[in-house]
Amino acid sequence: MALLEIRNLHARVEEKEILKGVNLTVNAGEVHAIMGPNGSGKSTLASVLAGREDYEVTEGEVLYDGKNLLEMEPDERAREGVFLAFQYPVELPGVNMATFLREALKAVREHRGLPPLSPAEFMKLLKEKAELVGLDPSLKQRSVNEGFSGGEKKRSEIFQLALLEPRLAILDETDSGLDIDALRAVADGVNKLRAPDRAFVIITHYQRLLNYIVPDYVHVMVNGRIVRSGDKTLALELEEKGYDWIKEEVGLVA
Amino acid sequence: MSDTAYLHQIAQSEYKYGFETDIEVEKAPPGLSEEVIHYISDRRGEPDWMREWRLRAFRYFMSLLERYEETYPRWAHLKYPDIDFQAISYYAAPQRKPRYKSLDEVDPKILETFRKLGIPLDEQMRLAGVAVDAVMDSVSVATTFKEELAKHGIIFCSMGEAIENYPELVKKYLGSVVPYTDNFFAALNSAVFSDGSFVYVPKGVRCPLELSTYFRINTPGTGQFERTLIIADEGSYVSYLEGCTAPMRDEHQLHAAVVELIALKDAEIKYSTVQNWYPGDAEGKGGVYNFVTKRGICLGENSKISWTQLETGSAITWKYPSVILKGDNSVGEFYSVAFTKGYQQADTGTKMIHLGRNTRSTIISKGIAAGYSNNSYRGLVKVARTAENARNFSQCDSMLLGDKCGAHTFPYIEIENPTARVEHEATTSKIGEDQIFYCQQRGLSEETAIKLIVNGFCKEVLAQLPMEFAMEAQKLLAIELEGSVG
């Protein structure tokens, strides 16, 4: 059974239809990249999968582990193992990072039938995961994302991913706003987290990130639909020829 | 044996062991007149000077009542029906007879809150007004506490006892910070005050324990018109806790207390309040009106007074704990979290009056509004001509949970000395849906998300509370947030 199956997904926000029939199948252990021009609906897809309220699904279905994902509340989806690394992680002033993550981990573990970790075990785990993804240890003591630089925010997202051990990790333009070093650090972290029971859906505008996180499949989204799929060479072709080429190929250029 | 069965046993045994014999509940007939003042003074066995003190205040209050339309304070951002002052009974004998025979008779919602707050059974009984067997631990704990204080010469007793045993101190300081002419409710309180706390800490003594109204024993339940006076002599320190997290139900609607703090040279008074008066039913009816005048004076140089409060109850909260910074180098602080929901209204804040030289004040106020409530911060920072080098920092933040509630800020700044440095920051925010969604995406329910975010918002203030109080306060805030979302 596929981990994630998206069938003919249509969604709109504020009366405007953005997703116009997305189809995608992701199996555990795979890394899929979704690329596309601005406005193609990539981030919308991520938001809909995470369960953001503003987006209304008008048609289609999404099965996660055979279950109806769209019927689940956002926090339920998260506890089931769906993780979204946000493009613009929001700040939570005064909410201590460690406290926040302890609550999150508790919720996820409880859902999995596991007892909560003792404070000592938890602190050890935090330290371990921070080292794994190369997160500056002092960030753990601060308020969630408060005063973090762009790079620090992205790294903090990957850190949380490492801690919560999701089965489906969606990275929404995790590379945007990062310089080469930060990019490599983030990619490094992601690569360390690849596992046979985990799938990644990496949404990106540029091919660059895919030099470091090598995908198994590449999909191109244009105008709310996935119009072309291939392997990593497709990304290189796009880089060379641009999005207009794809648009022409699928007959979307006026 | 079940808890209830145990309680039945205890409650019945109180009669067997000859518990207090005062069966009749004495109450003065409703209405305010000179006779009532005499009645109050008589019942309390007060000396003549105290009676005169009350009468002066009473006459002044009556003069205000006569010109009610002009004199009744209406500037607050509050709406409520007129209070009929002639319909209130101004004296009730201290309730020695317990109100309930068992916890079974107490409002189950109150018991539920007790349970969630982790309040031990015997304290639940005492708080609910259930009879407590003299043999139980709570009384012996209070006795040990009093012994400890006596060792240091610290006086902590009821106002009634203080008037009788320490008249010089009372005469000297009562009304020195809040004279009866100060405001409408101070006048009323001065005439009819029921009881309250009196604290005196001698020179150089650092009070080793947090003083809490819990240990004042004697009169269970709080009075309608409480009067508290705390004096910290030179070089002393005291931390005083008022209130408790348990919801306080009272048949009296109006609570008009007066609290006066006096800090002499090099002394420090820390006054913390966690108040959870009954806010009224789902329609907002029957809640407590909490109109309080609280003021401290930093009389001596280098003295310090700080007010910390978490207000989550009452139908209406109207209070401005203030500090008069008279002594040079004195410091005043105000930390507050005011949480309103349902139909509650709060108009609360502080006044920092800078008179001496090199005085400093800090104001951190967090207002959270939910439901249909209205939450206003009103503050005054006044720097007099004589106040050289005054410094103030104010941070007033409001947070709205939902879109039917209101948060307002009314800051007043009056500066009469050019060397003053006054900083004011104010923010109003609505908990962002983005923030809640972020938390949800990490597996947290919407309720947990709001609790975390609101806690983060209030952190600076709650951190000022003495530790156990702080933990109770956090729990209380969490309970109050439940079901107030949306």
Average pLDDT (B434-457) is: 92
pLDDT at B155: 92
Residues 8-67 of A with CB under 8 A from B: 50-53
Task: Indicate yes or no: CB of B456 within 8 angstroms of CB of A52.
Answer: no
* Eight-class DSSP state of B219: S
Of residues B219 and B437, more confidence is placed in B437
What is the arithmetic mean of pLDDT over B122-133?
54
* pLDDT of B219 higher than 50: no
Residues of chain B neighbouring A73 (CB-CB closer than 8 A): 440
A contacts of B455 (beta carbons < 8 Å): 94-95
CA distance A74 to chain B (A): 6
| Arithmetic mean of pLDDT, A209-234 | 93
CB B243 within 8 A of CB B310: no
pLDDT of B204 > 80? The answer is yes
Cα angle B124, B254, B365; round to 5: 80
User: Contacts of residue A52 in chain B, CB cutoff 8 Å?
Assistant: 437
ipTM summary value = 0.95
Question: What is the pLDDT at residue B251?
Answer: 58
Whether A24 maps to a domain, the answer reads yes
- pLDDT in the model for residue B21: 31
pLDDT at B249: 56
Q: Which range has the worst mean pLDDT, A93-97, A113-117, B67-71, B390-394?
A: B67-71
Tell me the pLDDT tens digit for each residue of B31-81: 888 988 998 898 888 999 999 999 999 999 999 988 888 888 887 778 777
Residue A200 in domain: yes
How far is residue B426's CA from residue B346's CA, in Å, rounded to a whole number?
18
SS3 B320: coil
Band the pLDDT of B23: cuts 50, 70, 90. Answer: very low
Query: Strands A217-222 and A225-230: what pairing?
Result: antiparallel
d(CA A183, CA A178): 6
CB contact under 8 A, A92 and B435: yes
Query: Are A94 and B455 inside 8 Å of each other by CB?
Result: yes
Low-confidence winner among A114-128, B101-115, B269-283, B327-341 (lowest mean pLDDT)? B101-115
Average pLDDT value for residue range B324-349: 94
User: What span, in angstroms and rounded, lies between the C-alpha atoms of B477 and B454?
Assistant: 9
The answer to which of A105-119, A164-178, B69-83 has the lowest mean pLDDT is B69-83
Band of residue B11 on the pLDDT scale cut at 50, 70, 90: very low
At residue B323, the pLDDT reads: 98
pLDDT digits (tens, 9 = 90+) for B256-293: 899 999 999 999 999 999 887 777 776 767 677 888 99
Q: Report chain A residues whose CB lies below 8 A from the CB of B432.
A: 90
Chains A, B: CB contacts within 8 A come to 77
pLDDT at B485: 60
Q: What is the mean pLDDT of chain B?
A: 81
Tell me, yes or no, if A94 comes closer than 8 A to chain B by beta carbon.
yes
Which are the contacts of A202, defined by CB distance < 8 A and separation ≥ 6?
A31, A32, A33, A34, A171, A174, A190, A209, A210, A213, A215
Question: Which of B347, B245, B338, B356 is CA-nearest to residue B300?
Answer: B356
Q: How far apart are alpha carbons B315 and B281 in whole angstroms?
A: 9
Model confidence at B172, pLDDT cuts 50, 70, 90, reads: very high
Does the structure show a pLDDT above 50 at B237? Answer: yes
Q: Is residue A123 part of a domain?
A: yes
Can you give the CATH number for the domain in which A52 is found?
A: 3.40.50.300
- Mean pLDDT, chain A, as a whole number? 91
pLDDT-based confidence at residue B209 (cuts at 50, 70, 90): confident
CB-closest option in A84, A103, A143 to B441: A84
How many angstroms separate the CA of residue B290 from the nearest CA in chain A? 30
pLDDT over 80 (residue B15): no
> In this predicted structure, what is the pLDDT of residue B92?
66
How many distinct structural domains can be found in chain A? 1
Pairing between β-strand B374-383 and β-strand B254-255 as defined by DSSP bridges:
unpaired
pLDDT value at residue B26: 63
What confidence tens digit (pLDDT) does each residue in B338-388 have? 999 888 889 999 999 999 999 999 999 999 999 899 999 999 999 999 999
Q: What residue ranges do the domains of chain B occupy? A: 113-125+137-433
Residues B418 and B387 sit within 8 Å (Cβ to Cβ): no
Q: Which residue of A has its CA nearest to B452?
A: A95
B364 chain-A contacts, CB cut-off 8 A: none
Q: What is the pTM of this model?
A: 0.79
Ranges A207-211, B235-239, B240-244: which has the least confidence: B240-244
Residue B441 has its nearest CB partner, among A78, A91, A92, at A78
Please report how the helices A180-192 and A150-164 are oriented relative to each other, as an axis angle in degrees rounded to 10.
0
Q: Is residue A41 part of a domain?
A: yes
Please indicate whether, in this complex, the C-beta atoms of B444 and A75 are within 8 angstroms of each other.
yes
Residue pair B356/B329 in contact by the 8 Å Cβ criterion: yes
Residues 6+ apart with CB under 8 A from A215: A31, A32, A33, A202, A231, A232, A235
The pLDDT assigned to A254 comes to 45
Q: Please tell me the predicted confidence (pLDDT) of residue B310.
A: 92
In a domain, A254, yes or no: no
Å between B362 CA and nearest CA of chain A:
19
Nearest CA of chain B to the CA of A200: how many Å? Answer: 16
pLDDT at B215: 46
Tell me how close the Cα of B396 comes to any Cα of chain A, in angstroms: 15
pLDDT of residue B2: 38
Confidence grade of residue B427 (pLDDT, cut at 50, 70, 90): confident
Average pLDDT of the residues in B180-191: 93
pLDDT above 70 (res A7): yes
Residues in chain A: 254
Q: How confident is the model at residue A181 (pLDDT cuts 50, 70, 90)?
A: confident
Residues in B lying within 8 Å of A, measured between beta carbons: 432-435, 437-446, 448, 452-453, 455-460
**Residue A143 at interface with chain B, using a CB cutoff of 8 Å:** yes
Closest CA to B457 of B289, B376, B338: B338
Task: Give residue B482's pLDDT.
Answer: 80
> Does the pLDDT value for residue B126 go beyond 80?
no
Q: In the prediction, which pLDDT does A31 show?
A: 96
pLDDT band at B295 (very low <50, low <70, confident <90, very high): very high
Does A104 score more than 50 pLDDT? yes
Q: Can you give the pLDDT at residue B360? A: 98
Contact flag A53-B437 (C-beta cutoff 8 Å): yes
Phi, psi of A149 (to 5 degrees): -75, 170
| Residue percentage of chain A with pLDDT more than 70 | 99
Residue B412: the pLDDT is 94
Segments forming the whole domain that contains residue A87: 4-249
